[in-house]
């Protein structure tokens, strides 16, 4: 009897498992009713090389089957469908008939997420404060996913700069209280999508499947939990998107539908990392092609966005990600290397579906005009970008860094920051640009300024008071240091994120007095900014720097904030009457950071290499 029961049980389990096994994978993995983007192109991939011979039929109320496309690789089909207004949520049966045999794929059609523009896809604005972290290096909240059986990279060693350290999304969830204590309103993480390559998977920028969240970070459930936890706190989520390239182990590289899904060269050709050929009126077409079509690295093949099937694959995945995970904003990696016409189309598709969503692109270029070309700008040019904002490398590389590392001169030192901001005339709305001191690709700001604590504080005060959206890299608030030679030194673990850490930045255990003072400064300014209308949406006025003294104002009808940066080696007296255009009518100035108060009739002295942030009072 027991033997018969075991056999019956085995057969039952076998058939249940078999019934759930899909004959083919479908991308996107699901869709929704009621979408503006209701024309969906399904990419169907099977292990069966005769898939291309299949006759496709779909009988589902409200869904119309359109064109079916085949490729060189017989394992793929592209199926165009239209989801009409009458379609209801359910499982759509896609029938593939091949030589009399029919395979059926179940494809979910869901109800839409509620709260478009109010509880997700809200956009990120100058009223926000973005915190950037690397999940693998921030906190390990679940040691059970440190290694995942079957994945290519099984490394796990915190003693190495380039192996995985075990941080995950649960670790981030565990420390949202800490982020909120800093005044953070928005979380941006380096990519969380599956990065199933053999090594160097800690950074996440080599995708192997856009429809999977990396299991070592906790998978899709953990990502949804993080999104929900953020929104419950009134916070926002930015997703890091990469359209330009994928990983060498991506399924579309290992088994492409056809060769033209990637940019192919007779011999390996990397990008020249030059932005000028894209817009240079004297430029050679050959140089532009290398910029945009060259591979980012030998392990990151360049995607052909001119292929309409690949373009649809990428655009649909972007929409799918926002709807699935409740993303509020989009940071776009390696923006300049993309086909910019494709990027306009992709950006528009997101904005059509999510009118309040915002996007900013990584534009690691050299020159304000170069950067403005990539974004919505005031220049009269044949090509017009619809990208809303950028990660502002100009105010970083040619602004705050020289301001605090160079001696003052006619064009040097803080004059470079002044000049760079004066060039804002080329942007339609510079308030949408994201300011930063450092990130995962740059040397730590504290190291750049020679581990000078006062200069670090000056940089932070500038970050919170300049026009635009402030973004802080994890650890900047506790003086983490390191140069990008190699890059691993700027991607070290956040102290306290692992059980047994002797130093804990979340609790303050083991922090030095300097580290605590900088952390407190961030908390003070981050939370002050939440209620400072002048910093969130106010105008900006700057004065020509004199003897290393740079003064600018943020102001609106309700509030005026005076920012004084002394980059000189000498103390400087502040004469409020020199700035009468903004100081008239005010009798007092109160420090936002300390309890110091000044009369505008006096001439208080600001120490060398320091900064004041003063709110003017009548």
Strand order in the sheet with 560-566: 539-542, 549-555, 560-566, 610-617, 588-591, 597-599
Judged by phi (left if over 0) then psi (alpha if -120 to 50, else beta), residue 147 lies in beta
Structure tokens at 321: 């990600």
Euclidean distance between CA atoms 388 and 587, whole angstroms: 39
Q: Are 593 and 518 in contact (CB under 8 A)?
A: no
Euclidean distance between CA atoms 320 and 326, whole angstroms: 10
Euclidean distance between CA atoms 82 and 61, whole angstroms: 11
User: Taking CA 425 as the corner, what is the angle to CA 421 and CA 430, rounded to the nearest 5 degrees?
Assistant: 65
Strands (DSSP E) found in 369-433: 389-391
Measured distance between the N- and C-terminal CA atoms of the chain, rounded to whole angstroms: 93
Q: How many residues does the chain have?
A: 618
User: Taking CA 35 as the corner, what is the angle to CA 31 and CA 40, rounded to the nearest 5 degrees?
Assistant: 50
Euclidean distance between CA atoms 283 and 292, whole angstroms: 14
Q: What are phi and psi of 436, to 5 degrees?
A: -155, 160
Q: Characterize the bridge pairing of strands 329-332 and 358-362.
A: parallel
> Cβ–Cβ contacts within 10 Å for residue 101, how many?
8
Comparing CA positions, the residue from 493, 515, 495 lying closest to residue 504 is: 495
Euclidean distance between CA atoms 243 and 149, whole angstroms: 28
Neighbouring residues of 235: CB distance < 8 A, sequence distance ≥ 6: 176, 179, 180, 184, 185, 186, 187
Euclidean distance between CA atoms 309 and 555, whole angstroms: 49
* DSSP 8-state symbol, 350: H
Q: Are 362 and 419 in contact (CB under 8 A)?
A: no
Task: For tokens 């969503």, name the residue.
Answer: 357
Q: Characterize the bridge pairing of strands 588-591 and 572-573.
A: unpaired
Comparing CA positions, the residue from 88, 318, 111, 122 lying closest to residue 237 is: 122
Please state, in angstroms and as integers, the Cα–Cα distance from residue 614 to each residue in 464, 537, 555, 594, following that order.
13, 17, 12, 10
Rounded to the nearest 10 degrees, what angle do helices 340-353 and 308-325 cross at? 40
Euclidean distance between CA atoms 469 and 435, whole angstroms: 6
Tell me if residue 362 is catalytic.
Answer: yes
Distance of alpha carbon 46 from its chain centroid, rounded? 32
Task: Pick the catalytic residue from 333, 339, 392, 568.
Answer: 333
Tell me if residue 602 is catalytic.
Answer: no
Structure tokens at 603: 């001439």
Q: Characterize the bridge pairing of strands 63-70 and 55-58.
A: unpaired
Structure tokens at 528: 């002050």
The DSSP annotation for 451-494 comes to T-HHHHHHHHHHHHHSSSEEEEETTGGGT----SSSGGGGSPPP
Task: Pick the catalytic residue from 128, 362, 493, 568.
Answer: 362
Structure tokens at 299: 């392990």
As annotated, the active-site residues are 333, 362
């Amino acid at each position: 009897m027991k033997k018969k029961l075991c056999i019956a049980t085995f057969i039952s389990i076998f058939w249940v498992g078999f019934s759930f096994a899909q004959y083919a994978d479908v991308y996107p993995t699901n869709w929704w009713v009621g979408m503006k983007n209701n024309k969906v192109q399904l990419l169907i991939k099977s292990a069966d090389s005769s898939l291309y011979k299949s006759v496709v039929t779909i009988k589902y109320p409200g869904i119309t089957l359109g064109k079916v496309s085949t490729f060189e690789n017989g394992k793929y089909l592209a199926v165009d469908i239209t989801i009409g207004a009458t379609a209801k949520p359910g499982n759509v049966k896609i029938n593939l008939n091949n030589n009399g045999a029919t395979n059926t794929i179940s494809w979910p059609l869901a109800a839409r997420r509620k709260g478009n523009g109010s509880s997700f896809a809200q956009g990120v604005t100058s009223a926000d404060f973005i915190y950037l972290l690397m999940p693998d290096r921030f906190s390990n909240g679940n040691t059970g996913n440190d290694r995942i059986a079957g994945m290519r990279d099984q490394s796990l060693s915190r003693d190495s700069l380039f192996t995985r350290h075990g941080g995950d999304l649960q670790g981030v969830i565990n420390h949202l209280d800490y982020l909120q204590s800093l005044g953070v309103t928005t979380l941006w993480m380096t990519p969380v999508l599956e990065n199933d390559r053999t090594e160097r998977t800690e950074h996440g920028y080599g995708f192997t499947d856009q429809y999977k969240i990396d299991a070592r970070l906790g998978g899709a459930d953990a990502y949804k939990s993080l999104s929900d936890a953020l929104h419950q706190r009134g916070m926002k989520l930015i997703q890091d998107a990469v359209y330009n390239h994928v990983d060498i182990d991506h399924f579309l590289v290992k088994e492409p539908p056809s060769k033209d899904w990637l940019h192919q060269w007779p011999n390996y050709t990397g990008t020249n990392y030059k932005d000028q050929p894209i817009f240079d009126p004297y430029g050679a077409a050959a140089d532009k092609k290398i910029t945009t079509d060259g591979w980012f690295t030998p392990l990151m093949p360049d995607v052909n966005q001119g292929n309409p099937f690949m373009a649809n694959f990428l655009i649909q995945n972007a929409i799918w990600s926002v709807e699935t995970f409740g993303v509020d904003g989009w940071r776009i990696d390696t923006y300049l290397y993309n086909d910019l016409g494709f990027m306009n189309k992709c950006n528009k598709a997101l904005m059509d579906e999510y009118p309040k969503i915002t996007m900013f692109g990584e534009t690691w270029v050299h020159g304000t005009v170069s950067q403005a070309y990539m974004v919505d700008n005031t220049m009269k040019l044949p090509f017009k970008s619809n990208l809303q904002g950028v990660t502002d490398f100009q105010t970083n590389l040619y602004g705050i860094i020289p301001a605090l590392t160079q001696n003052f001169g006619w064009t040097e030192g803080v004059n470079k920051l002044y000049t760079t901001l004066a060039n804002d005339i080329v942007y339609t709305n510079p308030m949408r640009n994201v300011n930063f001191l450092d990130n995962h690709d740059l040397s730590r700001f504290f190291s750049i300024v020679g581990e000078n604590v006062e200069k670090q504080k000056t940089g932070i005060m500038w970050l919170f008071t300049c026009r635009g959206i402030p973004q802080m890299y994890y650890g900047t608030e506790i003086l983490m240091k390191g140069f990008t030679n190699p890059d691993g030194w700027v991607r070290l673990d956040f102290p306290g994120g692992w059980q047994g850490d002797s130093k804990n930045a979340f609790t303050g255990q083991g922090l030095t007095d300097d580290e605590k003072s900088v952390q407190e400064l961030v908390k003070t300014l981050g939370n002050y900014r939440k209620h400072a209308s002048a910093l969130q949406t106010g105008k900006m006025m700057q004065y020509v720097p004199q003897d290393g003294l740079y003064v600018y104002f943020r102001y609106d009808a309700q509030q005026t904030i005076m920012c004084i940066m002394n980059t000189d080696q000498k103390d400087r007296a502040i004469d409020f009457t020199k700035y009468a255009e903004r100081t008239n009518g005010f009798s007092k100035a109160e420090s936002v950071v300390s309890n110091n108060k000044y009369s505008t009739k006096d001439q208080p002295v600001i120490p060398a290499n320091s900064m004041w942030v003063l709110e003017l009072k009548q």
